[in-house]
Each structure stands twice: as C-alpha cells, then as structure tokens.
Structure 1
Amino acid sequence: MKAWVEEELKFLDLGDKRLNTRLEKMLSELSEHPHETVPQAIEKPSDVQATYEFWENRHVKAEKIIEAHKKATIEKIAGEKVVLAVQDTTELEFPPKKGRRGLGSISKQGAEGLKVHNVLAVSGEGIPYGLLKQKVWARAKVRKGKGYVERKRKIEEKESFRWIESLREVQEAIPEDIELITVCDREGDIFELLAEPLREGAHLLIRAAQNRRVKTEEEIDKLFSKLEKLESMAEIAIKLRRTPRRKPRIARLQVKWTSVEIQPPLNKPEYQQMQSMKINAIVAEEIQAPKGEKAVKWVLLTTLAVNNLADAQKVLKYYTYRWLIERFHYVLKTGCGIEKLMLDKGERLEKALATYSIIASRILWLKYCAVEMPDEPADIALEEEEWQVLYCVITKKKELPSEIPTIYECVRWIGRLGGFMCRKGDGEPGVQTLWKGWQRLSDYLKMWIIIKEMQDFIRV
C-alpha cells in the first residue's frame, strides 16, 4: 500500500473495513495509470470487477469518500497562516449509453452529464492541497420560458445557492487561527454571497460581473462607471499562468483601487430589507497585451484591506491562484479521463468522480510542490523506492546519491519520462506531461520490484 494513500484515507469510514481496504487498493492502482481505462490501469480481472462492484455498492457513499479527503486536506493545511478556498463549477459530459440513468442537461445542447461544484484549498503561496467540498447534481431539463420563474425563486432553491452553502461549510471546517479567503470568478458575484456573514479572519475575493448600484457622496452611481473615473494609481508586473485561452506571460497592469458601498438590488422586495455593504474594489488592466492575446482586465471585490499598493498586489496575487481549480478540472477530465467512464448510473459516476478527485488533487499538488518548494527533498512527495528508481533511470547510474534529490529535480525527471525536453526556454513540465511520465515511472517501479524479489529468491 502506498504511504500517501494511507495518509489520504486515514479518516475514511465506509462502515465496513473491507470497503475501506478496497478503496485503498483502487487508489493505489488507478493512480499509477490515471489516464488509462479501469481494465488497463488495474492488472487483475478480479480487481477490475471488484472496482466496478465498489462503485455499484449502495452502502458506498461518494460524500464519505470526499469527507475523508476533506479531513486529510484540513490536516495538511494546519500549519498555514492563509488558505484560499477557491470555488468553481464545471460540467462533466458523458457519451450516450443505452439504459444510462441519473444524468441531466448541461450547457451543451442535447448533451447529458453532471454538474460539479468544487472548493479547492490553496496555500497563500499557491500550493493546491486538495478539496474542501464537492457538490454533484443532475440538472433537470429546463423548458423554454422558465428563466423568469427561476429568477423569482428564493436563493436557497436555486443552483447558485451552492456558492453560499460552500462558504458556510468551509468557514465552519477551517480552524479559526487560519485566515480564510473565499475566491470566486464572476459566476460567484451574487449579492447574497457578498452579504453572507463572515467569521473572524474570513474574507471574500470575487471577480465582479454585475454592474451594481453603489452609493457615492452625492448620488447613486453604477459600480463600473465609478471605477472607470478613477485615475491609475500604479503599474505592476504579474505572472499569468497558462489557461486553455492564453499562454503564460508576465503582464504589466495598471492598478487602481477604492472603497465602495454596494446597494441592494431593486428587483426583489426581500432585497430591500437588506443593508448596503462597504467593500473594497480593485481594477487591474493590462497595458499592452502581446499580439493575438486578449488583454487582461479584472474588477475584483474583496473584504480584504486595500490601503496601499502592497495590499493591492497581495490581493491580485491571491486572485491569480484561482486558475488552479481550472487546472484541477483539466486533470480530472483529460488526465483521469473521468468523462470516458461508461458506468450506467449517475450515482455510480459520482462515486468514481470522488475516487478520481483524490488522484487529481495529488497530481496537481505534486506539480506545484516543485514550483513553490523546489529545494525541499523529494521524499516530501515521493516514496523512497520511487525517487530511487527515478534517479537510476534518468542518470543511468547504479549507485544512489549521498543526498536525496530535490522535489524540483524529481518532478522535472518525471516530466522527461513523459516527453518534457528540459531545453532552455521550455519552462516547467505541465500536468499532462507529468501524468504521462508518472505512468512510465510506475512501470519501471514494478519491474524494479520484480527484479529485486527474484534476486532475493536466488540468494535464498
């Protein structure tokens, strides 16, 4: 059993020790070849069948798998001073399958799948530790003309309540000695979320989507109009990570900030019973984007203090970490092939999703350990046999080094196994390269274990 699997599932309680043991075995084997199908990733046909039976077992609940992972994640962040709870929603589209039940409509017309809302724990220095919450649902098909009716429903009855629900649960779960910052993209710009009570040491950081009414000294103005009138206060350089829509680059941004008093919306009577709220706003606009790239412009609303340029830079740095949850979803879909599963019930797919979410979070964590903690020894992430085999394969040496290689060196070596060239200007290996390299390392490790066992047998 892999040590990281034991740590990850130390809080697991499925009500039966045999079920706990089965999930541990599944995680160990599936994590070695996450991109492969279940029959390809797991060697024994009996174990393949047992994996499918595990996901079919009505006593196994996806919530309990995620709960164990959540507790392990909270234990990992115990020493952090600042933790970002990054929220985002994604859709899983599954191919048509006769008899498949439990799926719902998604954004793509005619397609069926599941909606998934995740909350990813990220350190103040950009290390993704794992999930704090995962909510999965099948959306009922919406008839034309129901949009107005949907808008008139209470927030607790809407899908958008997931943002508030997640904030409440995470606030309660994270120790109060940790500064907690909930980070959301424009979809999270909901008045009820902005108005949600925050515990001491908790904050919001949300990209604005709504041109809300704000109170000025003389009149009620619109948020974007007020911010547009501000003069630029500073220019800063910020590192933009790779996304599906842009290449990584250093962007020069004009930055300005102010405090605003947001007024309740006028479209519902119940809003009028709510108080206006003071919040800080930051505008960051790229001065000159490279040819072919869209200039970055963020309007951010935050309860964090923004009194000077240093405060604004810190808030902008935190917001750049929001894209980590997009990378998490990318690893789930492309690296773990979650949408290729042919299970015939939504409930079974949800259990498989919970299983692969643990694997995806580890792949992402390994990648950013190398980025943010490059000089740490490799054994913070790799088991002894893993880094030793990796060292011998890459260096072509039989003797092990006197010191453990760094995590930065090992991650680049894993990248080399996955096709990373390590040339000047290549940057760092991406998550896709890493999971390919990890599969090759797993194969080398199995062969190394077989040879070692044969040598021991011959000596006897």
Structure 2
Amino acid sequence: MKLLETNPYSNCDFGDKRLTSRAVLIAESLKVKYGEPLSKIFNSNSDLKRSYEFFSNPKTTFDKLTQPSFKQTAQEIYGIPVILALGDTTYLDYKKILEKTEEYGPTGNGGNGLILHSSLAVDPDFGQPLGLLWEKLWHRQHKVPPPPGETSAAKKKRLKQERLRAKNRAFEEKESYRWVEAFQNIDFSYSAVSQRNMVRDTISRSLVR
C-alpha cells in the first residue's frame, strides 16, 4: 500500500478556504496527541478557541469532514484483487454529560448519545486495515413519555400501536438499512476512482461504549 502523501482534510470543501486550512491544522495536531481532549492538544487559548468555533460551524458537517478520507482510502486500495469491507455499529454514549440533550438520543441501557456505523477496508490476505470507506452518524428519537395516570389497558394499547408503526416503517428508515446504505456508498466511491477490484461485505454487530 502506498503511503499517504497528503493530508486528506486539505480536500475538504466547506465553501471557505479558511475552514479547510483550520481542518488541516486540527488534523495535524490530533495526529501528535491522538485521544487527548482539545484543551490538552492545543497549547494556546486562541488555537483552542478557533478549534471549538470550527466544530460548531454549521459548514463543517460530518459528511464534508469524512468524504475526502474515504476517497483517499479507495484510491489507496486500488489494484488489490479482493478487499473486505467490514461493517459495524458503535454506540457513542454521553449519558454522564447532562448538557448533551439536543441532537442526541437513546442508545440502549439508559444511554444517551449518537450511533456511528462504519465500513473498514481490510486486506484479507494479511488482515491489515487499509482505511475507512464510509461512515454514517445519526441519533434515535426520544420516545414520548406516557401520559400521566395511564391505565394498564391504555398502556397495552399504546405499546401495540408503537410496535405496529415500527413494523410498518419503510426499510430506508430502519437502522438495519445502514448496512445496505454502506455498501451502496462504497460502490459509489469505487466508481468515482474507476475502482474495479472486488469488494466483499462482512457484517457484524457490536456494542462499544
């Protein structure tokens, strides 16, 4: 596999070159102190402030930040006969941070946060990860609390209606569709770089907290 020669974030298109430059600087800093909070990564208050402003900017969306990296991965694996695309879902649980309520949802077992589905390119001959091909970030909707004084009969009827609505949802609205969506997007990424090698999709489920 060829070494990556450029920072993929230099190809981010936010409609503002200053934001692209900031993305590159943040990425370079994260490489040096990966896993550390931003307050420990940046030495100056001005850099820390600009980083927070970058992530809160409505132009710096998750999709725009990740697409250049996915395309670069597709280019890097060009020519390898068979690639495994391993799909998995991660639950990002922020239930201990009480302020995180907007744009977050239940993750199971009382959790509150986001859900991330990833597709990782892996060389089957050596078991070596080659990079991320696709990711999707979303959150579940909070359930409407039951009305006060709800009787057992009313609760039973309400739960039955909720199960019926869930059953009749379009497939594209269900979480299981993420695996199909992942492979569709991988196919698109491959065609974008004239990729012709075979991709096999392996699906697994796990809970990561």
| Separation in structure 2 between the aligned mates of residue 81 and residue 4 of structure 1, nearest angstrom | 20
What letter matches 2:203 in structure 1? C
CA distance in 1, matches of 2:10, 2:55: 20
Q: Deviation at 1:79?
A: 2.6
Partner residue in 1 for 2:148: none
User: Residues 36 and 10 from structure 1, CA distance in 2 versus in 1: closer, same or farther, beyond 3 angstroms?
Assistant: closer
Following superposition, the deviation at residue 176 of structure 1 comes to 4.8
Give distance in 2, aligned partners of 1:147 and 1:123.
Answer: 41
Q: How big is each residue's C-alpha offset from its partner over 1:69-108, in whole Å with a ceiling of 9 and x where there is no partner? A: 1111111111311111111111001123337411001112
> What is residue 177 of structure 1 aligned with on the other side?
196
1:24 is aligned to 2:24? yes
The alignment status of 1:77 with 2:96, answered yes or no, reads: no
Task: Among all aligned residue pairs of Structure 1 and Structure 2, give the percentage whose two residues are the same amino acid.
Answer: 27
Amino acid across the alignment from 1:40: K
Structure showing greater relative contact order (alpha-carbon pairs closer than 8 Å, 6 or more residues apart)? 2
Deviation at 1:147, TM superposition (A): 3.3
* Residue in 2 that maps onto 1:410: none
Letter of the 2:16 counterpart: D
TM superposition shift of 1:148: 4.1
Residue of structure 1 equivalent to 2:153:
none
User: Which structure has the bigger radius of gyration?
Assistant: 1
What TM-score results when the alignment is normalised by the length of structure 1? 0.38
Taking structure 1 as reference, are residues 107 and 5 closer, same or farther at Cα in structure 2, changes over 3 Å only?
farther
Q: 1:130, 1:6 → 2: CA distance?
A: 15
Whether contact under 8 Å (1:11, 1:72) holds in the other structure is no
Whole-angstrom CA distance in 1 between matches of 2:138 and 2:118:
12
Q: Structure 1 residue 26: deviation in Å?
A: 0.5
- Report 1:260-279 matches (<5 A): none
Partner of 1:162: 178
User: Equivalents in 2 of 1:27, 1:4: separation in Å?
Assistant: 14
Determine if contact 1:10/1:72 at 8 Å carries over to the other structure.
Answer: no
Partner of 1:141: 142
Q: CA deviation at 1:25?
A: 0.7
CA contact (8 A) 2:78 2:195 kept: no
Secondary structure at 1:136 match in 2 = strand
Separation in 1 of the partners of 2:195 and 2:66?
22
The CA distance in 2 between the partners of 1:15 and 1:91, in whole Å, is 31
Return the alpha-carbon distance in structure 2 between the equivalents of residues 66 and 98 of structure 1. Answer: 26
Structure 1: 5+ residue stretches without partners: 188-325, 334-460
User: Which residue of 1 is the match for residue 98 of structure 2?
Assistant: 97
SS at match of 1:150: helix
Deviations 1:135-190 (A, max 9, x none): 111101246722343123231221211111111121232245201100002x5xxx
Count how many residue pairs are aligned between Structure 1 and Structure 2: 187
Change (3 A) 1:162 1:108: same
Instruction: With the length of structure 2 as denominator, give the TM-score of the two structures.
Output: 0.80
Q: Partner amino acid for 1:167?
A: F
* 3-state SS in 2 of match to 1:9: helix
Does residue 59 of structure 1 match 2:59? yes
**Displacement, 1:19?**
0.8
CA distance in 2, matches of 1:71, 1:169: 11
**Hey, what does 2:109 align to over in structure 1?**
108
Structure 2: distance between partners of 1:22 and 1:40: 17
> SS at 1:36's partner residue?
coil
- Give RMSD over aligned pairs: 2.4
Distance 1:33 1:169 in 2: 31
Distance 1:99 1:11, change over 3 A: closer
Structure 2 CA distance for partners of 1:81 and 1:99, relative to 1, 3 Å: closer
C-alpha separation in 2, matches of 1:172 and 1:23: 25
Distance 1:173 1:4 in 2: 18
The answer on 1:151 being equivalent to 2:151 is no
Please give the per-residue CA displacement for 1:259-290, whole angstroms capped at 9, x wherever unaligned. Answer: xxxxxxxxxxxxxxxxxxxxxxxxxxxxxxxx
Which amino acid in structure 2 is aligned with residue 70 of structure 1? F
* 1:387-438 CA-partner distances (Å, limit 9, x unpaired): xxxxxxxxxxxxxxxxxxxxxxxxxxxxxxxxxxxxxxxxxxxxxxxxxxxx
User: 2-side partners of 1:168 and 1:49: how far apart?
Assistant: 38
1:31-430 superposed matches below 5 A:
31-94=31-94, 95-98=96-99, 100-109=101-110, 111-124=111-124, 125-142=126-143, 145=159, 146-174=162-190, 175-185=194-204
**What per-residue deviation string (whole Å, max 9, x for no partner) do you get for residues 247-267 of structure 1?**
xxxxxxxxxxxxxxxxxxxxx
Q: Is the 8 A contact 1:6 1:24 kept in 2?
A: no
Following TM superposition, by how much is the alpha carbon of 1:4 offset from its aligned partner in structure 2, in angstroms? 5.4
Counterpart CA distance in 1 for 2:31 and 2:99 is: 29
